[in-house]
Amino acid sequence: MIECERERPLLDSLEALAQHRDSLKRGHDPKRLRVRICMTGCRAFGALQVRDALAQQIEAAGLAEAVDLVETGCQGFCAGAPVLAVDPYGYFYQRVCTDDAAEIVATTLQAGRPIERLGYETEDGTRVLRREEMPFFRGQRLVVLRNCGQIAPRLIEDYIRRDGYAGLARALSALTPEEVIEEVKASGLRGRGGAGFPTGRKWEIVRASRGDKKYLVCNADEGDPGAFMDRGVLEGDPHSVLEGMIIAARAIGADEGYIYVRAEYPIAVEHVRTAMAQAEQMGLLGDQILGTDFSFHLHVKEGAGAFVCGEETALMASIEGKRGMPRPRPPFPAQSGLWGKPTNINNVETFANIAPIILNGADWFAAVGTENSKGTKVFSLAGKVANTGLVEVPMGITLRDVVFGLGGGIHRGRAFKAAQMGGPSGGCVPAEHLDLPIDYESLASVGSMMGSGGLIVIDEATCVVDLARFFLDFVQSESCGKCVPCRVGTRRMLEILTRIAEGQGAEDDLDTLESMGRVIKDSSLCGLGQTAPNPVLSTIRYFRDEYLAHIRDKRCPAGICPPLSTTPCQDGCPAGVDAFGYVGLLADGRLREAVRVVRERIPLISVCGRVCYHPCETRCRRGDLEAPIAVGALKRFLGDWEATEGIEVPAALPADRPAEVAVIGAGPAGLSAAYHLARLGYRSTIFEALPVAGGMLVAAIPAYRLPREILQREIDVVRQMGIEIRTGVRVGREVTLDELRRQGYRAFFVATGAHASRRLELPGEDLPGVMGGLEFLREVNLGTPARLSGRVLVVGGGNVAMDAARSALRLGPDEVYVVYRRSRAEVPAHDWEVEEAAREGVKFRYLTAPVRVVEANGRAAGLECRRMELGKADARGRRRPVPVEGSEYVEPADFIIAAVGQAADTEGLQALGLEASGDGRVAAHPYTQVTSEEGVFAGGDVVRGPSTAVHAMADGYRAAQAIRRYLEGRPLPAPMPAAKSPVAVAPACEGACPTRAAMPRLEMAERAQCFDEVELGLDMAAAIAEARRCLRCGRERQEE
Amino acid sequence: MSDDFTLTIDGREATAEPGMTVMQAADRAGLRIPRLCYHPELEPFAGCRVCVVEVEGMRTLAASCALPAAPGMVVRTDTERVTDARRLAVELLLSDHPADCLTCELCGKCELQQYAYELGVRASPFVGERHHDPLDDTNPFFLRDYTKCILCGRCVGMCQDVVRAGAIDFAHRGFETRIAGALGRPLQDTSCVFCGLCVQACPTGALVEKTRAGKGREWDFSAVRTTCPYCGVGCGLVVYRKDGEVVKVEGDEDSVVNRGFTCVKGRFGWDFATRSDRLTTPLVRRDGELVPASWEEALGLIAERLQAIRAAHGPDALAFLASAKCSNEENYLMQKLARAVIGTNNVDHCARLCHASTVSGLSRAFGSAAMTNPIADLRDAKCIFVTGSNTTEAHPIIGMEIKSAVKHEGATLILADPRKIELAEYAEHWLRQRPGSDVALFNAMMNVIIAEGLHDREFIESRTEGFEELAKTVAEYTPERAEGITGVPAEAIRAAARAYAGAETAAIVYSMGITQHTTGTDNVLSVANLAMLTGNLGKPSSGVNPLRGQNNVQGSCDAGALPDLYPGYQRVDDPQVRAKFEKAWGVSLPEQPGLTVVELMQAAERGEIRGMVIMGENPVLSDPDIGHVEKALAALEFLAVIDIFPSETSEYADVILPAMSFLERSGTFTNTERRVQLIRPALPAPGEARPDWQVLRDLANALGAEWRLESAAEAMDEMAALTPQYGGISHARLETETLQWPCPTRDHPGTRILHVGKFPRGLGKFSAVEFREPAELPDEEYPFILTTGRLLYHYHTGTMSRRSKGINELIPEGMIEINPQDAEALGCREGDFVRVASRRGEVEVAAHVTDRVPPKTVFMPWHFKESAANRLTIAALDPVAKIPEYKVCAVRVELAEPVRRARQPFRAVP
């Protein structure tokens, strides 16, 4: 540990500084052992204790003289806090705890060897040990943060040694003030506080302002939630700001300055004061700097933490001792600022850029960045991104590179939703703009802003209404209260948002928000009010549907807004199955009750436990810690358990109840509708065109995923409730709706699915040997499939493609390839499907698009393909594939399966006379399932397009509710907030397994050539132990 | 002007001057932009956003109140974008505002209501949280209804930037933002001075006077413009009344004197006039008791007794006290009664007690005695030298001007005052001289100015005489020597001298701290010397500016209520003048000047004066050494008093005649800057009270004269005909303007600045003045210096202010300021009663322990009869002006026994 108060020479000339630097450089042994430990942000994670432990161990090992323990500022990688670096090896250790101290001393300091476990874990599970090997650091370019983490911020010597104050020396010796301004202008540096005003021009204006007294102010009133760039610089490298300020002061002709820093940055305040004292001690600040006739006196003004004081006129009022309220501009501070004198205000990061510009020249600086945004920008990367921390990147880098490159992507495979940039004044940048270059103009063009550099990543489990509400709540409570639009307007907007979040919103609220927001931006006094509506406006702009879900459906898709949400898992379920409830009951051993809870929402329990993609698990809070509860496996367990114990069939309909509803399609939607209607007391008849019931579940899902007897068992439950399923009847052809009406059916639910494969639309696709994915699966599932041989190509990346590939593999070909035009990251099929396919031997050709089917001997012999590369993002943030010119080649094939999408069978639909939406889908209301025809409802894939079984069952549930009311002549149901679980189960964590239960699977060897079920299911003990992992995060809500 | 430029507003060309805002340019072009937080007296606040306009090339809308107009600017005030913003602002304000226009006091005057009407906002479309803070009725004067507050900040601006009381500010943030007393305290516990500017500035019903609550709406009231009856500033007031009752008083925003500002007395202190103890019938003393009588009887009795005394002892056995509270017309008639009807020059009034030395000193130096420059000039002065004036308390509106000049315009303030008064906070140079050492201080300043060559040689050469003698005298007063006399460090004297002499324009403001000394005339001469030495006369924002104490001190002197001067300062011993008046009045007039106030009382005590008529004065409290005054009045054979209330003086009266208050009669007051202004009747007189002019006419006629006077206006016409300075002044003219004398002819616009180019006496006269000690200095027996003066809240002998309910709630009793060091030695805590004794008497009064006074100096206001300061003061007179030395006498202070405490904590001003 190094004492920061010591004797220091007075540098009374430029030569004295140069000589002093030389001697410091000579005195610095690059081979010496140094442990650099972050002593700023990492303190919150125990860095102080780690430092003490290390010091103790170093002492104990007798290394006190040999090792420097350097307390640095932020080293950037906050996700790994506490972090430290060991020189001269360059090892970068993270998540260090006191217990690691002894090993660090013994292994690394004494033996020079790294400790693998303290390295950074990459995606593939390996560890890297040096900063430069981490993706987090690879894309960075450090100008502002050049010294952060490298030097001891409380020692001016460290700064001087690394060319500190050399920029000042050059400014004082080689350049006139005007030339300094010219240099800064030429560099293209723009204000890093957010507005991006060209710094050199600002200086020029202040220099030209009349007045014998001028002030220079550093705005360090960083207050955005989630932003800590300025803090990082002030804590980690305060002299870089001082040097920039001194250069600026001389350039504009100021002799006095202020650093306005918030008092709740005590380390920053301390480091700045220390730096000022040392600089004054050495003649680098104060009177006659470096022996020249230039003097500059600096003060620290601690701000009380009002966000609005970041606004320059409010900041100046605060320095003057007045209430921090903005005043109208003009006059601009450059004309009349502090105490009416011309004043130049720049942000911390702006000042930190100055010395390097002066030292290295404008061209050096301008070589980085875009046309209008030069240099680098520091961001504090926060939110739902893997690698949080402080990053400095070249202007023009894409958001994708920051979030997915440096940031390591989103936690737990959730989808990226947006990045909130520019703090509460900024706006969110949605996935479709992931490839936007980060610069002032681009961000503004999408309704966001550079701001000071807050970058908060949000994922699909973040509700945008809630997000907007959070930021608006922040700004409205931080409003100074002076101007009406900001003071009252933001509160009114917040109240509207709150109503929406509570399910009390109306659709025209969105118009109101938009028009208010527009006027508030236009008519507020200062930047705070002029930007306050941004988070609301930008989320409405990009996520209107999510707002509408709150308003129309009384649903918070992310499961965040309390009145519209239950528990994360239940909210995550499209059918609203109360996973929280049945997992709790299961954990408590109350299995029957658990099954009943599932059956409240869906009839097909075992089926769903097998085929569902489990969005409930994506939301699970346990997943935020390590891995989510295996909700799907538990549901499957419950269904299978019940089957062995005796299925509790819901009460059958009374025998004399006539069938009043015709359900068309015996897929999951139709079965669900009939089932729920029966529970409501209405008998229906299901008409199915195929010879068997089950729809896609039977026609498309291979038996190794869903054994036929399981499906049959659960369809039988529906039958046992008194529902007749007439197979082989195609409504519209064999029987018309009118006929059915005459037979006494009063209501219809159309759930005919999407059984047609979409065509490749390529030459040669009608050749023998080319087949649609669904047709292929149907043949495999319902018929007797032909054996395959040679090379099979499956075109497409969806779930049907995976099922087709895996099914094909089981029919004996030599090789099965999946050809997909995007990359692995964009594959739409569920991850586990892709993984299982790969494990089973399916091979993948990514970034490969078919061009035409190659013919030989009158049948398909291959597929001409073209290599692709990824371009800009589409609306979901996926990068669009772009062909690589001249990359065509032929992929030989004996059999080609085209699994590029599904379509509804339009022929039958036309016969029903229903109004179609795009792609031939039936148009139905999203929560009453009402169609254009009186008494006709629709749901499932025929409405949604290819979707999932659980969505289909959800549609069936909604349709049943609506049909009942229709039959009773009552108004159709208004959307209701999701029901809270009636089940209150205390957490039973006793006997919980520590990690997620692994699903036992069929051995690879046993899978070949056979359609036996791959996943084997959990046993009772494993299931209960797994259920007990549940954190009961919804408990509070249960007890409300 | 040549710098004017043009811009386009709504397609029309508009012209503007540099420095104008877009709003001002629009106003000039006749285009009214809506506004809520804007107030012409305040810096633009730009918070309401109702005045936003669209400007070509600007990203957002801009508040026109704050946006500087620029050449070629293209402004639109009428687009949909602008209207949307205005509507939203009003809708948002209404969303947190009770829609209770039906019961709101401000209905019809409320500006929010007006814009809601103009923009067609029926009700706010927003439903949300509202504020429900309880009504604040904790102060005596006004109500604050937070629910109606639109946070326009006007009240805060008035408090902080105009009055600079700093009592209220914005508190909290965001929607919770509120106006609050400093540190969240109720107003009484803040530095509030209850001037009520906040109330007048409030655009909604958030601040309303208690007196008007429930009395009606603006359209129910009729307004009368008049002039404040309190101090010499002469603020224009607007009196609102309904059903013969005053409902509220506001400052007159059209008045050039106060531009709508007032102090607590002007705005809230009018209720004295409506008190039940008003005199309503003539009273005559029968068997020692004052009993009601008819006017005929009372007037007859006075005439009979006066004639009897005159017959027995000659006209000079009678004396007449006019009043600085009364109008010009009344004073004119009073002196005419004395001179023309009775035949004596024994007419004087209380101006003798405040500014006689100004009259004597400035007349000698310049040839006429009045404030040389208008009040408004102070705003632009580069340097202001205030001495002997606690301006912010005694002349609050001028105090505001001085504070604004310092804070807004960057004027340098020099203050010479023994007390740390509010202006000390604003002064760059505060010279804390020992009371009574002023001449030494001024001489030393002049010593520095001459020694350092800072004097205005050209002015001295061309405009003055007597410089050599002055230079010789002040040469003896080095700063070091002065430091020994005054206690002011020599360097401070030098610095102040340089600041004063070095300023482009420097104005001296003084008041009774200069005049009320046995050296009063010398002090005034010194002040005049200083101004002439630096050429600070006859030009804007400079001059010698005595602040007159009462509403009409200037006018009562102008009107000739002085023993040696006819109206317009025409000497009674000048035969030519006398001939003029004899001709006009048709009588022969006495040649010898009469006696002054204090001399009159002394003569009465001696039995030389036997009969007296006192109009609107209360010498028993106002004169020095009142023990003697009481004896003098008791010794009189006959005393008639004309007043609106019974007073300490009227207890000695044989006849009392009920007069009218300022709210009931017509007339003119001349304020301290020589501005003649009308008072207009707003209320019917109580009972049989009559206007003084009528009383005096009837009395004159009872005494055998034949005055055919039917109105105050006619009295003014008569006075104007005989008084050159007032030659062009008439009530008819004053209906539409106010006039600063000299105004010799009907088409003369009045005179803003005196002595431009020439002094009335020709050359200005320097007078070499030597320092003399005050008449009575502290000694072992009486170790403290007592100095006296006014409080902000009270006024003179309290006849008016102590009858104002609200004011009396704030300050119910007197006090004495004692330095903490002295208090500790006395064992005296804040609020303890002390006994204060001088060689002339003693009083008991509560102590206010404060470092406003230096050690060994105590200060007492003289408004309180229970603790009458003038029982202690000395009747030592300035040899020339005959003004008593109120500001210095020696007293002893000791704890009162038994121990008594003040009723409530003393409400100190900043």
Beta bridge partners of A429: A419
| B19: chain A residues, CB-CB within 8 Å | none
Q: Which two tokens stand for residue A543?
A: 């996520």
Residues A396-413: what's their mean pLDDT?
89
Decide: helix, strand or coil at residue A105.
helix
- Of A331, A476, A487, Cβ closest to residue B151: A487
One-letter amino acid at B425 equals E
Q: What is the dihedral of CA B763, B769, B775, B781, to 10 degrees?
A: 150
Contacts of A317 (CB under 8 A, 6+ apart): A323, A324, A325, A326, A327
Work out the mean pLDDT of chain B and round it to a whole number.
92
Q: What is the pLDDT of residue A214?
A: 96
Among A345-354, A457-466, B117-126, B614-623, the range of highest mean pLDDT? A345-354
Q: Which of A258, A211, A268, A215 is nearest to A238 (CA)?
A: A268
CA–CA distance from B482 to each of B531, B740, B806 (Å)? 19, 38, 45
In this predicted model, what pLDDT tens digit does every residue of B420-460 receive, in sequence order? Answer: 999 999 999 999 999 999 999 999 999 999 999 999 999 99
**pLDDT beyond 60 at B308:** yes
- Buried-exposed string A667-703: b where 16+ CB fall within 10 A, e elsewhere: bbbbbbbbbbbbbeebbbbbbbbbebbbbbbbbbbbb
CA atoms of A663 and A747, how far apart (whole Å): 9
Q: Which two tokens stand for residue A304?
A: 């009380």
Residues A661-687: what's their mean pLDDT?
95
CA atoms of B6 and A1037, how far apart (whole Å): 67
| B175: chain A residues, CB-CB within 8 Å | 476-477, 479, 481, 487-488, 490-491
Q: Which A residues, 447 through 476, put their C-beta within 8 Å of a C-beta on chain B?
A: 476
Work out the mean pLDDT of chain A and round it to a whole number.
91
CB A903 within 8 A of CB A758: yes
Beta bridge partners of B412: B383
Q: What is the pLDDT of residue B486?
A: 93
Could you tell me the sign of the dihedral formed by the alpha carbons of A105, A110, A116, A121, in that order?
A: positive
Question: What does the H/E/C string look like for A342-379?
Answer: CEEEEEHHHHHHHHHHHHHCHHHHHCCECCCCECEEEE
Residue B169 sits at the chain A interface (C-beta within 8 Å): yes
Chain A to chain B Cβ contacts (< 8 Å) = 114
Q: What is the pLDDT of residue A719?
A: 94
Chain-chain contact of A481 with B176 (C-beta, under 8 angstroms) = yes
Q: Which two tokens stand for residue B619?
A: 């010498």
Chain-chain contact of A481 with B174 (C-beta, under 8 angstroms) = yes
CB B58 within 8 A of CB B37: no
Residues B773-791: what's their mean pLDDT?
91
Beta bridge partners of B892: B837
Q: How many CB atoms lie within 10 A of CB B166?
A: 15
CB B360 within 8 A of CB B880: yes
Q: At what angle do helices B520-533 and B467-475 cross, to 10 degrees?
A: 110
Residue A484 sits at the chain B interface (C-beta within 8 Å): yes
CA atoms of A563 and B273, how far apart (whole Å): 65
**pLDDT beyond 80 at B100:** yes
What backbone phi and psi angles, to 5 degrees, belong to A881?
-75, 140
Q: Which two tokens stand for residue A439?
A: 């610069």
| Surface-to-core class of residue B248, CB atoms within 10 Å of its CB (0-12 exposed, 13-18 middle, 19+ buried) | buried
What backbone phi and psi angles, to 5 degrees, belong to A139?
-85, 5
Q: A519 vs chain B: nearest CA distance in angstroms?
A: 6
In this predicted model, what pLDDT tens digit does every residue of A727-761 receive, in sequence order? Answer: 999 888 888 888 999 999 999 999 998 888 888 88
Beta bridge partners of B566: B570
Contacts of B185 (CB under 8 A, 6+ apart): none
Q: How many CB atoms lie within 10 A of CB A118?
A: 24
| A495: chain B residues, CB-CB within 8 Å | 126-129
Output the CA angle A933-A937-A943, nearest 5 degrees: 105
Give chain A's radius of gyration (CA, Å).
Answer: 33
What backbone phi and psi angles, to 5 degrees, belong to B751?
-125, 120
Q: What is the pLDDT of residue B153?
A: 94
What is the Cα B184 distance to its own chain's centre? 32
Q: What is the pLDDT of residue A1?
A: 45
* Shortest CA distance from B97: residue in chain A: A488
CA atoms of B77 and B174, how far apart (whole Å): 28
CA atoms of A189 and A200, how far apart (whole Å): 7
Q: What is the pLDDT of residue B2?
A: 65
Alpha helix segments (H runs only) across A391-481: 399-400, 440-445, 464-478
Q: What is the pLDDT of residue A913?
A: 77
CA atoms of A902 and A775, how far apart (whole Å): 10
Chain-chain contact of A488 with B172 (C-beta, under 8 angstroms) = no
Q: What is the pLDDT of residue A688?
A: 94
CA atoms of B85 and B80, how far apart (whole Å): 8
Chain-chain contact of B47 with A488 (C-beta, under 8 angstroms) = no
In DSSP notation, A957-987 reads HHHHHHHHHHHTTPPPPPP-PPPPPS-----
CA atoms of B507 and B384, how far apart (whole Å): 5
Chain-chain contact of B46 with A489 (C-beta, under 8 angstroms) = no
H-run or E-run covering A259? strand A256-262
CA atoms of A184 and A165, how far apart (whole Å): 17
Beta bridge partners of A866: A849
One-letter amino acid at A814 equals D
Q: B174 vs chain A: nearest CA distance in angstroms?
A: 4
Residue whose tokens read 């009159």: B600
* Shortest CA distance from A472: residue in chain B: B174
What backbone phi and psi angles, to 5 degrees, belong to A120?
-90, 130
Q: Which two tokens stand for residue A345?
A: 């205000």
Give chain B's radius of gyration (CA, Å).
Answer: 28
Chain-chain contact of A481 with B93 (C-beta, under 8 angstroms) = no
Question: Strand locations in B451-557, DSSP E?
Answer: 464-465, 506-510, 543-546
Give the confidence band of A908 by pLDDT, cuts at 50, 70, 90. Answer: low
CA atoms of B155 and B162, how far apart (whole Å): 10
Q: Which of A865, A868, A884 is nearest to A826 (CA)?
A: A868
CA atoms of B311 and B18, how far apart (whole Å): 72
Q: Which two tokens stand for residue B871?
A: 């029982």
CB A872 within 8 A of CB A435: yes
**pLDDT beyond 60 at A259:** yes
**pLDDT beyond 60 at B19:** yes
In this predicted model, what pLDDT tens digit does every residue of A479-496 receive, in sequence order? Answer: 999 999 999 999 999 999
In this predicted model, what pLDDT tens digit does every residue of A522-548 receive, in sequence order? Answer: 999 998 999 999 999 999 999 999 999
In this predicted model, what pLDDT tens digit does every residue of B693-752 receive, in sequence order? Answer: 999 999 999 999 899 999 999 999 999 999 999 999 999 999 999 999 899 999 999 999
Q: At what angle do helices A949-967 and A668-679 cross, to 10 degrees?
A: 40
CB B320 within 8 A of CB B338: yes
Q: What is the pTM of this model?
A: 0.88
Q: Which A residues, 309 through 338, put their C-beta within 8 Å of a C-beta on chain B?
A: 323, 325, 327-328, 330-331
Q: B123 vs chain A: nearest CA distance in angstroms?
A: 15
Give the confidence band of B667 by pLDDT, cuts at 50, 70, 90. Answer: very high
Residue B729 sits at the chain A interface (C-beta within 8 Å): no
Residue B626 sits at the chain A interface (C-beta within 8 Å): no
Q: Which of B365, B673, B437 is nearest to B546 (CA)?
A: B673
Q: What is the pLDDT of residue A1039?
A: 44
CB B62 within 8 A of CB B77: no
Residues A133-159: what's their mean pLDDT?
94
CB A219 within 8 A of CB A232: no
Q: What is the pLDDT of residue A985?
A: 66
